[in-house]
């Protein structure tokens, strides 16, 4: 594996400031546009170096759950997952198949939106209690945020379907939320990261949820795809950065989901955890199973 410093050295050697200035002069760009272009090229070069070393290995749903079907149609009100919005592939079926297979007692979701996913999870997992986080519009930060919502709209679907008594709604920015006030360590069976998709937010959200997840529990990260088209890139980069830190995150084939199954012996987001997880989550060809 390349260290963070080695990746950074390669990136800088490709674009020294002298060669950058020569390129700007040759193509007749203004310095402002030229430097913007260089920043973009540096970013793309860093990403392609990262991708060569930390691309997420594929994992199929069949391999994960020994199942591929979507037996019943989901609640569709305000649904925010492909194929109902954005993409033509199916992200709802695999999510609900995993949930049905796991039958979690405790679920955490970052990014409630209108509460469609919570409603569907409550329906297919009758014993689940769901903790779900969404910032109120005025407290929300980040770029790839999908919605800016007020209190009445956050979670309205699960309330409409009568699931409110199984849901703890947390109105908070994920950067500042203290999930430890609601949940004990190693108590969560399934976590879904689907709030702000900016790279640093996804990394923050992963490190906040990972210590709460039990060994064998699952974290799913949405809008993560190797094409890295548009909004799919920043979460994919976050997952590659997490892989570089030793977390064996994989891409669920044919979907916009990434998956991490917590191994035994991995703890909170501190140095000790990193050391343990580097040992525990070695990148192997052996597919994890639920
Ligand atoms: C993609 S939507 C979630 C969709 C939802 N999981 C569903 O299936 O219906 C993302 C949500 O995250 C919320 N959000 C964005 N940035 C946030 C942040 N920094 N903290 C908390 N919530 C945030 C947005 O308000 C939006 O409702």
Domain count of the fold of the chain: 2
* 159 within domain boundaries: yes
State whether 16 and 156 are in the same domain.
Answer: no
* 114 within domain boundaries: yes
Q: Which helix (H) or strand (E) holds 250?
A: strand 250-252
Alpha carbons 221 and 258: distance in angstroms, whole number:
5
State whether 11 and 128 are in the same domain.
Answer: no
Q: Which stretch of 12-16, 140-144, 238-242, 268-272 has the lowest confidence by average pLDDT?
A: 268-272
* Percentage of the residues of the chain whose pLDDT score is greater than 70: 84
Looking at 149-285, list the stretches that DSSP marks H as alpha helix, in order from N- to C-terminal side. 156-160, 199-209, 233-244, 271-280
Question: Does the beta carbon of 141 sit less than 6 angstroms from any atom of ligand 1?
Answer: yes
State whether 211 and 93 are in the same domain.
Answer: yes
> How many angstroms does the Cα of residue 113 sit away from the middle of ligand 1?
5
List strand residue ranges (DSSP E) for 115-226, in order: 129-134, 167-171, 188-193, 213-221
> How many angstroms does the Cα of residue 146 sit away from the middle of ligand 1?
7
The last residue of a domain, from among 37, 54, 71: 54
The DSSP call for residue 284 is -
State whether 16 and 126 are in the same domain.
Answer: no
The number of beta carbons lying within 10 Å of the beta carbon of residue 127 is: 10
Question: Does the beta carbon of 194 sit less than 6 angstroms from any atom of ligand 1?
Answer: yes
Question: Does the beta carbon of 204 sit less than 6 angstroms from any atom of ligand 1?
Answer: no
Counting ligand 1 atoms within 8 A of each CB, the residue from 108, 109, 141, 196 with the most, and so the one to mutate, is 196
* 267 within domain boundaries: yes
- pTM metric for this prediction: 0.84
> Domain of 243: which CATH number?
3.40.50.150
State whether 152 and 183 are in the same domain.
Answer: yes
* 287 within domain boundaries: no
Question: Does the beta carbon of 120 sit less than 6 angstroms from any atom of ligand 1?
Answer: no
pLDDT tens profile 24-73: 888 888 778 888 888 888 888 888 888 999 999 999 998 888 765 556 79
Given a cut of 80, whether residue 102 has pLDDT beyond it is yes
Counting ligand 1 atoms within 8 A of each CB, the residue from 82, 95, 108, 112 with the most, and so the one to mutate, is 112
**Residues 215 and 251 sit within 8 Å (Cβ to Cβ):** no
State whether 48 and 187 are in the same domain.
Answer: no
Given a cut of 80, whether residue 193 has pLDDT beyond it is yes
Question: Does the beta carbon of 97 sit less than 6 angstroms from any atom of ligand 1?
Answer: no
**Residues 240 and 50 sit within 8 Å (Cβ to Cβ):** yes
State whether 114 and 44 are in the same domain.
Answer: no
Domain that residue 231 falls in = 58-280
Looking at the chain, list the stretches that DSSP marks H as alpha helix, in order from N- to C-terminal side. 4-14, 17-27, 31-54, 61-65, 92-102, 116-124, 156-160, 199-209, 233-244, 271-280
State whether 84 and 211 are in the same domain.
Answer: yes
Q: Which helix (H) or strand (E) holds 86?
A: none
Alpha carbons 119 and 227: distance in angstroms, whole number:
30
* 286 within domain boundaries: no
Q: Is the N-terminal amide bond of 263 cis, ω within 30° of 0?
A: no
State whether 35 and 75 are in the same domain.
Answer: no
State whether 22 and 119 are in the same domain.
Answer: no
* 288 within domain boundaries: no
* 290 within domain boundaries: no
State whether 48 and 82 are in the same domain.
Answer: no
Q: Which helix (H) or strand (E) holds 210?
A: none
The last residue of a domain, from among 18, 37, 54: 54
Q: Check residues 242 and 230 and name the one with the higher pLDDT.
A: 242
* 17 within domain boundaries: yes
> How many angstroms does the Cα of residue 145 sit away from the middle of ligand 1?
6
Question: Does the beta carbon of 108 sit less than 6 angstroms from any atom of ligand 1?
Answer: no
State whether 45 and 69 are in the same domain.
Answer: no
């Amino acid at each position: 594996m390349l260290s963070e410093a080695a990746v950074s050295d390669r990136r800088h050697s490709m674009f020294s400031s002298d060669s950058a200035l020569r390129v700007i002069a040759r193509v007749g760009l203004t310095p402002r546009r030229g430097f913007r272009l260089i920043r973009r090229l540096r970013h793309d070069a860093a990403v392609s170096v990262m991708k060569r070393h930390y691309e997420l290995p594929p994992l199929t749903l069949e391999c994960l759950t020994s199942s591929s079907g979507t037996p019943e149609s989901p609640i569709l009100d305000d649904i925010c997952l492909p194929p109902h919005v954005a993409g033509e592939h199916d992200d709802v079926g695999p999510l609900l198949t995993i949930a049905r297979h796991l039958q979690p007692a405790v679920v955490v979701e970052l990014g409630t939106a209108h509460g469609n996913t919570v409603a569907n999870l409550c329906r297919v997992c009758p014993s689940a209690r769901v903790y779900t986080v969404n910032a109120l519009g005025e407290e929300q930060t980040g770029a790839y945020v999908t919605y800016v919502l007020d209190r009445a709209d956050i979670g309205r679907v699960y309330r409409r379907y009568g699931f409110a008594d199984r849901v703890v709604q947390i109105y908070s920015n994920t950067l500042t939320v203290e999930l430890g006030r609601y949940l004990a360590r190693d108590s969560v069976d399934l976590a879904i990261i689907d709030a702000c998709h900016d790279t640093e937010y996804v990394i923050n959200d992963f490190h906040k949820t990972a210590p709460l997840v039990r060994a064998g529990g699952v974290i799913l990260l949405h809008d993560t795809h190797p094409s890295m088209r548009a909004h799919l890139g920043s979460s994919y980069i976050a997952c590659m950065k997490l892989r570089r830190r030793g977390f064996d995150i994989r891409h669920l084939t044919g979907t916009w989901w990434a998956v991490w199954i917590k191994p035994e012996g991995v703890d909170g987001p501190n140095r000790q955890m990193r050391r343990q997880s580097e040992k525990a989550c070695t990148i192997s060809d052996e597919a994890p199973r639920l």
